[in-house]
Structure 1
Amino acid sequence: MSDLTKLVEQLAAQALSGQQNSNGGGLGGVLGNVFGQLTGQNQNTGSSGGILGSVLGQLTGNTAQSTGSSALLVAVIPLILNWIQQQGGLSGALDQLRNSGLAEHVQSWIDPNQENQTAVVDKIQSLFNHEEVKNVADQTQSQPQDVYAAIASLIPQVIDRLTPQGEQTDTSAANLDIQKVMNLASQFLK
């Protein structure tokens, strides 16, 4: 099993540390809108069991003082996970990343004995749907290039967490982890 849920929790905790409690949708609302746009789900929030649900629940009542990088990273998680699913799962996403000129980078993300190389933003731009990126930029009050930079910053960590046994990782288990995180978040946002 991967550490994807832990990564989401860590990013959410980082985003929370820069939040100030007040009324409004805040980061939870932004994340809800992103998930809603990507999955066609209702964007109203509610309660959910599970660790991710409680983390997202804490986010709902907080408003960002400014659009910080942690908030943007949390907002791109559903975009990355949805993109992986659109590629047919982890194997398809890895093939797309390798075919886009990131083969050496992907190898560093998968190999537990290598340090993750930073993704090249220009290569990431060609992989992601510009309209979806623009929607995330609008929701986070940032620019599309900032969203692409956040994707490039986060995708190595996501792939690393989804492949804890390197090349021997069971991609079916990784795909189930992706679906689990997406389901937890969408249940919370119903």
Structure 2
Amino acid sequence: MKTIGLTGGIGTGKTTVSEYLKEKGCVIIDADKISKEMTEKGSPALEEIKKSFGGKYISKEGTLERKLLGDLVFNDPEALEKLHAIITKKVEEKIDLILKQLKKQAIDDIVVIDAPLLFECGMESVADENWLITADMQVRIDRVKKRDGLSEKQILDRINNQMSEDEKRGKSRCIIDNSGTVEDLYRHIDKIIERIRDEF
């Protein structure tokens, strides 16, 4: 079993890469999905968020106001760090449990930890190697505008509030540029998968 840490900033196309890796037979561990499960209605993490950030971030139905909290933490590094402290440890514990279960099942293939904040949360050491998805800045901005309806300023605020791409590059074995066509992206990924499977 080979474990890959997959990350990339907003608008780089990390989800596209993750979905393609799944099609190619890789096992995907979705850190974002786990994080959302950890903050579901009635969860201990949700109560911690309420205590740390205030009741306005919890809806009348008792669920997390994700967009509202996102607007806060992506414009306030201290708030983002506080949120990481609440959620990251719980997510790491869940990922560790899943990896142990996969090892018991003797999975003989590639396991991908899909985590947008892989490096920011210090999860890169869990993987055998880390991949960074990148794209030209204007390409990223255009994608997010179309997908989420955010303004250019909102997008840049979110990008600038994360670890710099240069720092991420220094921690990554593979840099996958997703500025071009989907076909170019898939060809690049196919070569990397072939290299890893040849190492088994």
Structure with a larger share of its residues in helix:
1
Structure with a larger share of its residues in strand:
2
TM-score where L is the length of structure 2: 0.29
Q: Which one scores higher on RCO, CA 8 angstroms, separation ≥ 6?
A: 2
